[in-house]
Amino acid sequence: MIATLILSLAALQSGAALPQGTPTQSSLGGTFVTPFAPSLQAGVLPGRMLEITMNLPGQLWQETFVIGIPQIVQYPAPVLTLFHGYGEEPRDVIANTPLVADAMARGWIVFIPLGAHKFNYGIEYAQRNIELSFQFLNTRLPIDLDRIYSVGFSMGGGAAASFAARHLDPNGIRFAALVNHTGTTSLRATYHTSNDTGLFESPLMFGASPAMNPFPYLQSSTIDLDPFTGLVDPAGEMASNLTHIPTRHWNANFDPNQTIIDQTVALHERMSMRGADTARSIVTSSIHSWGTLDSATVLDWLALQSLHTPVPGEVTKTVADRDGRWHDLEIVQAQSGALTPVMWSSQPVSNALYLIEMANIGSIGIDVTEVALDPMQSLIVILQTTDASTPDVVLEGFPSIPSDVKRRGISTSAWTHDAVAMTITLHESGPMGWAAWTIIP
């Protein structure tokens, strides 16, 4: 398998490589994409591992990642994704935790991305690098898409949680389970307790403080913890997106980085409040290290997990930070650079769809047949926004035009039917309130 992969990478490189030049290095421990560098380079590390560096479409940073290919691979293979700590590179993770060797001994593929550079804190462009690298792997390796696991340490713990919360597209890579080892889950709190705020304010990072440029910090966090009061602002969190991802939180009881322990505890408590499968493990130690994570215990627990998604009848809160697919929802924001929450549920018994507590919503789409609703029966759609949004609601699964559509019990013409796309679009016009629509076949 590893020889085949090397050959395929070599073939790709020979067909796509550009003239050799000197890559532009960054003080952050990463390399900017340059048209004079090879588009892909691959090297073999000891222990059946590959280190790959490549340019990625549309990205300003090169990506480097390590792939571990076990001697005997399960088909399809579970994938253990490891998110490195502050200042680490993928190679460092191999040396700093037995998780790599132990996972490969179980027949798992190991994937260790850099995320653009060594100090990325899960920033959006770093996550995009990792996303594109995952796509690269998925087309070349027998990956079990229902058993992709993630473990992150310190900065990487926060980055792993954020990546999990921001990647819920059924057509993309999603995590089946997550281990957060003393992660920086709130970057506002991390900024205010950091010895190097200049890193965060660098033009290569967030460009300013959280007070001056709050959204990028929220976008790369799962909670928004006030470092002065210790309180979590629920308006600025994406932790609800982890509800369907079993999570274990680890920390050493005497870890010198108390602020990161506080963030770890706060994320666990927010997930617990929402009924998630979440638990904490506390080890006796005074060091901040990958080494305080028990490899066998972590891998045994991960091996029991597989992908969970919302099912009809559940009530789910989803928070989008950009346009895209989020579980069964296709969300288009009213305004970029802000979060878009929505509480949603399909109720097959009453043939009803609830889309409530929405904000910053331009349009929202769902295939009613995929959430066990019947378009051949009268369908009720309950809408509510908490701001001035007046969203279009695009409902797929309607090949025929309905006989009537009512809003609050009164027939309305504020809807359209597309026979080709088999959609009905409800044009909501009443902001900050409830509206019940009924679609009659």
In order of their start, the domains of the chain are: 2-303 (3.40.50.1820), 316-440 (2.60.40)
**Rounded-to-integer distance, Cα 367 and Cα 346, Å:** 11
Per the CB < 8 A criterion, the answer to whether 147 and 221 are in contact is: no
Two tokens at 241? 């997106």
Supply the pLDDT for residue 38: 56
Amino acid found at 421 = A
Q: How far apart are CA 272 and CA 154, in angstroms?
A: 21
How far apart, in whole angstroms, are the C-alpha atoms of residue 423 and residue 397? 6
Per-residue pLDDT of the chain (441 residues; tens, 9 = 90+): 454 554 454 444 333 333 334 456 677 888 877 655 557 777 878 888 999 999 988 899 999 999 999 988 778 999 999 999 999 999 999 999 999 999 999 999 999 999 999 999 999 999 999 999 999 999 989 899 999 999 999 999 999 999 999 999 999 999 999 999 999 999 999 999 998 899 999 999 999 999 999 999 999 999 999 999 999 999 889 999 999 999 999 999 999 999 999 999 999 999 999 999 999 999 999 999 999 999 999 999 999 999 999 999 999 999 999 999 999 999 999 999 999 999 999 999 999 999 999 999 999 999 999 999 999 999 999 999 999 999 999 999 999 999 999 999 999 999 999 999 999 999 999 888 899 999 999
- Integer Cα distance of 182 and 286 in angstroms: 13
pTM of the model: 0.93
CA distance 180 to 118: 18
Model pLDDT, residue 103: 97
Q: What is the pLDDT of residue 245?
A: 98
* Structure confidence at residue 34 (pLDDT): 64
Query: What's the token pair of residue 372?
Result: 């066990």
Longest dimension (CA), the chain: 71
C-alpha 82/C-alpha 134 separation (Å) is 12
User: What are the angstrom distances between the C-alpha of 235 and each of 218, 224, 389?
Assistant: 10, 8, 17
- What's residue 37's pLDDT? 55
Query: What does the DSSP 8-state code read for residue 315?
Result: -
How far out from the chain centre does Cα 268 lie? Answer: 17
Nearest Cα to 339, choosing from 362, 320, 358? Answer: 320
Residues 6 or more apart whose Cβ sits within 8 Å of residue 132: 56, 57, 59, 63
CA distance 372 to 374: 7
Give the dihedral of Cα atoms 321, 305, 250, 160; nearest 10 deg: -30
